[in-house]
Amino acid sequence: MVRVLGIDPGTKVVGWGVLDTNGVRHALVAHGAIRTTVGDELALRLVEVHDGLTRTIAEHRPEVIALEDVFFGKNFQSAIRLGEGRGVALLCAAQAGVPVAEYPPATIKKAVVGWGRADKEQVARMVQAVLRMAELPTPRDAADALAIAICHCHRIGRVAARPRAQGRRAPAFTRAQCEELARRVRARG
């Protein structure tokens, strides 16, 4: 089993979700959100995000972190804020020595719902179904983080099932990354 931490980055609310997977079956471990103090200046909110993610990584010890990639929507300011939150998440991953996989929003939605333009409600309902949750995951930021983790879990499953021949695309991980991942899993015992 591989432990995946999905992160929905932000500067006000950061969603996170932890799954254990063998690439085919995914088990929910935990999910939640880091809420920063409303009204604080950006630098202080980023410290809160850093501290919260550092605690989450230390508590759940993921082998890989899946993160939403930057996208350019209609609101340029939102894209900048998302980039700032992503930067903190990347820093936390690097400090913990955990590899990061990044996915654009449309790829995440397509992996979970089957359609790259799905709305947040559709994504949350599919996360609930895939993980066999009794209720919709809350808060919504955590549902998005679980979707990001599911997207990466599906990638792990495709890599494991993919034939080497026939000129298919390269695997999501390099051989060295896979060996390092296996070493960490064994060390965890």
Residue 181 near residue 63 (C-beta atoms within 8 A): yes
Catalytic residue among 41, 51, 135, 141: 141
Whether 8 sits among the annotated catalytic residues: the reply is yes
Q: 104 is written with which tokens?
A: 């654009």
Higher confidence at residue 71 or residue 123? 123
Catalytic residue among 8, 48, 63, 144: 8
Angle formed at CA 180 by CA 66 and CA 147, multiple of 5 degrees: 15
181 closest CA partner among 164, 165, 160: 160
Prior bond of 139 cis (ω within 30°): yes
Residue matched to tokens 């254990």: 20
Whether 141 sits among the annotated catalytic residues: the reply is yes
In the chain, how long is the greatest CA-to-CA distance?
56
Whether 135 sits among the annotated catalytic residues: the reply is no
Q: For 7-19, what is each residue's pLDDT tens digit?
A: 999 999 999 999 9
Catalytic residue among 20, 41, 48, 68: 68
Q: Would you say the pTM of this structure is higher than 0.85? A: no
Distance from C-alpha of 45 to C-alpha of 36, rounded to nearest angstrom: 5
- Indicate the pairing of strand 26-35 with strand 2-8: unpaired
Mean pLDDT of 33-60: 96
Residue 8 near residue 148 (C-beta atoms within 8 A): yes
Mean pLDDT of 159-185: 53
